[in-house]
Amino acid sequence: MAYVIGPACVDIMDRSCMEECPVDCIYEGERKLYINPVECIDCGACETACPEQAIAVDRLADPEFRTDNRRFFNETLDGRTAPLGTPGGATGVGPVGVDTPLVSAIGTR
Angle at 10 between CA 54 and CA 68, to 5 degrees: 80
pLDDT tens digit sequence for 58-101 = 788 888 999 999 999 999 999 999 999 999 999 999 999 999 99
Domains observed in the chain = 3-92 (3.30.70.20)
Closest CA to 37 of 11, 77, 9, 65: 65
User: What is each CA distance from 98 to 20, 33, 48, 52, in whole angstroms?
Assistant: 23, 10, 26, 21
User: Taken in order 53, 88, 40, 75, is the CA torsion positive or negative?
Assistant: positive
- The pTM score is 0.94
- The number of beta carbons lying within 10 Å of the beta carbon of residue 94 is 9
